[in-house]
Amino acid sequence: MTPAARVQSAIEILDAVIEGARTGAAPADRILAEWFRNHRFAGSKDRRALRDLVYDAIRACGPVPESGRAAMLRLVETGGVAAELFDGSQYGPAAIADGEKSAEGGFASEWLVAELAASGVNETAGAAMLNRAPLDLRVNTLKTTRDAVTLPVETEPTVAPNGLRLQAHAPVENWAEYRDGLVEIQDTGSQLACLSAGAAPGESVIDLCAGAGGKTLQLAARLGNEGAILACDVDRKRLSNLPPRVERAGVANVAARLLDPGKELDMLADVAGEADLVLVDAPCSGSGTWRRKPDTRWRLSPERIEAFAKTQDTLLDIAAALVRPGGRVHFVTCSLLDAEGKDRATAFLERHPDWSALPLALPAGEARGQGWRLTPHRDGTDGFFIAGFVSP
């Protein structure tokens, strides 16, 4: 592909991303994957260039652009693309017309910028939410240690005790060390959020929103394959990714359970009141992960934030019914909005006045309300809110 053809293809992909944001259809990563499947002529260099163009354009725009072309013109304004590539060639984009408008810049829509500001995220911190993220690994201590593992590229330790950071595009999933379960791809912030739950060998743990099981595997390593972990989710497809990951990691104490939305407590009645720890890695806006999925911010609305908050409250109340007396609930969201963090912790303690907040002190981040917060700007991790509660 010529450079101009790459720009035109990126414009067409961006049109699909924008339509997906407006209608709730597929996000950018899935749209790109589908485009690559349908355009086999695009080589590895073309795919890398297209991916960079699409995500650079998404990061350069604040609110949802009018079109993929407007988004790409914004990238021209920021110096990310040469205007000369709009050359009107056969496979390239049409020449830029006099007075043709580009998309608006910034880091989010006006209402969302205001919500973040009210949550203590200023413009500088907001802009950092759109920087490219590094690639972090967690060393699987069921099989090796951070000091002992040897990888094909240079790495540096992170503040997480088993974390390593490396170049962003390293082909980790092709490495023998990954296939053999020595390392897992996991952001340092995610590692710290799970570590702070204080899971200990022999405990009974429920991962209430396990998804594909990233934190489940970390919990299993913390337990040293002792005790038991019940990994639950309402998404069959995501939960189906867990068994092969468990096998690869050498985990022997995890069972999976698919739940029906709205019937979680009924389907967990056999373990109610027995868990030492329930992890609630709750569905949220994902504002802490914009570095990896910048189009997520185009898919948000005040109504969606409110709906996420209600879901988080429900999940916390379910978790409270699952722990034994003196047991713990650990609440995590990958969000920097107080509506999905500090406010939810406060509301939980108001609904459960006999519970107490557990003090947290992590090697990164800072206190936020009754919990702890990690941010890309200050900590170089994905954004997280973390809180712990103990039952009477």
Residues at the binding site for S-adenosyl-L-methionine are: 233, 260, 281
Whether the CB-CB separation of 124 and 376 falls below 8 Å is answered with no
Query: How many Cα atoms occupy the beta-carbon half-sphere of 148 within 13 Å?
Result: 9
Q: By CB neighbour count within 10 A (0-12 exposed, 13-18 middle, 19+ buried), where does 359 fall?
A: exposed
The CA-to-CA distance between both ends of the chain, in Å, stands at: 64
> Binding site: which residues?
233, 260, 281
Distance (Å, whole) CA 336 – CA 314: 20
Nearest to residue 179, comparing CAs of 207, 154, 143? 143
Nearest to residue 61, comparing CAs of 52, 69, 71? 71
Whether the CB-CB separation of 188 and 159 falls below 8 Å is answered with yes
What is the helix (H) or strand (E) element at residue 137, kind and residue range?
A: strand 135-139
List Cβ neighbours of 128 (8 Å cut-off, separation of 6 or more).
375, 376, 377
- What are the respective helix, strand and coil percentages of the chain, to the nearest 5? 45, 15, 40
Give the residue numbers annotated as catalytic, written as ranges. Answer: 334
Residue with tokens 């329930």: 278
Distance (Å, whole) CA 149 – CA 169: 20
DSSP string, 261-295: TT-HHHHTGGGTTTEEEEEEE-----GGGTTT-GG
DSSP string, 55-109: HHHHHH-SSPPS-HHHHHHHHHHTTSS-GGG----TTSPPPPPTTPPPPP-SSS-
State the pairing for strand pair 228-233/204-207. parallel
3-state secondary structure 197-209: CCCCCCCEEEECC
